[in-house]
Structure 1
Amino acid sequence: MAKRKRQLSETKIEKMIKEGRGQGTGKDYLPWLKIQDVPSEGRATRGVGWTTGRRHELLSDIERDYCYLLDYADEVSDIREQFPLLPLEETLMIAEKIGVNHPRDPKTGVPIVMSTDFLITYGDKDCARTVKPFSEMEDERTIAKFEIERVYWETRHINWGIIIDHDLPDVLIRNIEWVHKEYHNEDVSDLGVFTMRNLEQMLAARLNDGEAISKACLACDERLGLEVGTSLALFRHFVARKKWSLNMNERIVPTLPAKEFKIATPEYRLEAKGG
């Protein structure tokens, strides 16, 4: 199979703009860059976001981890990754003004459209964040590109900052990752309100008594005649939906009791936020 051509040309930039790349909000937003457009750093990810309800184009492990945190934060109302710094002429002018070379395609020499990893909406305010490994923070070329980015957002009165991997709380992120894909769980509608309510009450009672998560879930599967693993998946669903809370800053270990387990919403409803 032929490799996808990633070289950039002025025609390709125009085509991307016409496609609506970097435009829209929420579920309708189209990232400027997609996974197939660039070599990824680490394991590229297309996870369906809780906040946006669409698949995110995340080009590195650190982007994925930061997106988990944003998804989990109640105050975040929109996440736009790979946000383009357009028009291109503006970043070219900024680069010339501050005396640094503007990024260019290494093969064609065409100036590239720079992008910020995340444009985030908190309430009614936007902020821009670039996420990078600490190992890149002493690279002079990287710092020069950061300065173009900083000035671009400063002219728009939008707060911009850098997030490094050392800033990210690994335990919290791994816990969010563990429950993340169960936010949308097909069993919720398939089982119906009556069975869901029984399962929730039965499982919560066992967890409140300090029973290990996996043991409590298996007992509920057997009691309700469910396929093994159903209750554990719904445990993750309840935590993801924040119907149930526990200490997310301690690693969730299924063979142990749920730390600081609490019921946040007493009765399950199928019309829970997010569908």
Structure 2
Amino acid sequence: MAGTKCRSPNPDLVDRWIAAGYGQGDGACYKPFMYVRDVPSIGTSSMVKSRVTGRTHHYLSRQEFKVHLEAEYSRYTKNIREQYALLPLAETQQIASDLGVRHPTYPTTKTPTVMTTDLLLTLDRPSGEQLLAISVKLAKDLTPRNLEKLLIEKVYWNQRGVKWVLITEKEISTHRVNNLCFFELSLADDCVLSSPITPEDFSRRFEANCRQGLSFNAIMAKSTRELDLDVHTGHALLGQAVWSHQSRLDIEKDTLTHRGSVFLKEGA
């Protein structure tokens, strides 16, 4: 079934979406312009609870979700806003006109589309907070028409002095993202709160038990047995240690699997 924002809206309906605050604002109350429910489901959308913002984020493609994981893992990220609306609408229309390209419209209508940026990050840098606007595309989707729309987006952010970048699958670290996915559910696992063992302490025990030839499952079983924990809690503790940069697990070298080998960072 088509989502609620894919039903050939007229300008009045678009104005109501804007007035309702979609794709605007900041903090935990931020509402993305597009939710997962708003688009046709093709099996690639994702919803994920963020430890950075404390809210559930909505991503319309698997690639956007992967970039979110990278942003979530970064020590510098203070805020993440997905599907950020490029407003006022008249500004993107003017940019398109100046560039001599067509402004996008909603399918089967002449209603101008509210353009959005996939992720808008607030980064904590030594010089102060900085914004970073990110568009996410598969390389195969960089058609001439999509490049025109990306150019409108780039100019919009450049006019505000905000850095804009385009990320394709070529810029995403496969092993790191896969391993963050491996521990993704740990982020919102409440069993960690009631554990007498901290994530960092559990990771130290796990690391001490790492031996060549032992699988992840074998090391996990040994570590949880020694600390009198269940495996589920152990996995959640280790995951939170990884996400908090408190673990020596090397998530860059290879993709973790339950039956695969575990690598530790050298010299850490």
Q: 1:214 touches 1:255 (CA, 8 Å); kept in 2? A: yes
**Deviation string, structure 1 residues 173-212 (Cα, Å, up to 9, x no partner):** 101111122023222222335x879856643432379854
Q: 1:214 touches 1:232 (CA, 8 Å); kept in 2? A: no
Match of 2:150 in 1: 146
Q: 1:244 touches 1:262 (CA, 8 Å); kept in 2? A: no
Gaps of 5+ in 1: 265-275
Match of 2:173 in 1: 169
Match of 1:229 in 2: 232
Match of 1:255 in 2: 259
- In structure 1, C-alpha distance between the alignment counterparts of 2:199 and 2:54, rounded to whole Å: 23
**Deviation string, structure 1 residues 17-65 (Cα, Å, up to 9, x no partner):** 2222122223221111111222356510011122212111100011011
- In structure 2, C-alpha distance between the alignment counterparts of 1:203 and 1:233, rounded to whole Å: 12
Taking only the aligned residue pairs, the percentage that are identical comes to 29
- In structure 2, C-alpha distance between the alignment counterparts of 1:164 and 1:59, rounded to whole Å: 15
Aligned residue identity for 2:237: L
The alpha carbon displacement at 1:241 in A equals 2.4
Match of 1:242 in 2: 245
- In structure 2, C-alpha distance between the alignment counterparts of 1:49 and 1:215, rounded to whole Å: 30
Q: Which moved more, 1:208-217 or 1:235-244?
A: 208-217
- In structure 2, C-alpha distance between the alignment counterparts of 1:197 and 1:99, rounded to whole Å: 55
The alpha carbon displacement at 1:231 in A equals 1.9
Aligned residue identity for 1:133: L
Match of 2:17 in 1: 16
Poorly superposed stretches of 4+, deviation over 4 Å: 1-5, 195-202, 208-211, 261-264
Match of 1:268 in 2: none
* Structure 2 length-normalised TM: 0.86
Structural RMSD (CA): 2.7
Q: 2:134 touches 2:165 (CA, 8 Å); kept in 1? A: yes
CA gap 1:223/1:161 in 2 versus in 1, 3 angstroms: closer
Match of 1:75 in 2: 76
The alpha carbon displacement at 1:163 in A equals 0.9
The alpha carbon displacement at 1:230 in A equals 3.0
The answer to whether residue 259 in structure 2 is matched with residue 218 in structure 1 is no
CA gap 1:202/1:145 in 2 versus in 1, 3 angstroms: closer
Aligned residue identity for 1:125: Q
Q: 1:41 touches 1:60 (CA, 8 Å); kept in 2? A: no
CA gap 1:228/1:245 in 2 versus in 1, 3 angstroms: closer
- Please state whether the residue corresponding to 2:122 is helix, strand or coil: strand
Gaps of 5+ in 2: none
The alpha carbon displacement at 1:157 in A equals 1.2
The alpha carbon displacement at 1:263 in A equals 11
Aligned residue identity for 1:126: L
Match of 1:129 in 2: 134
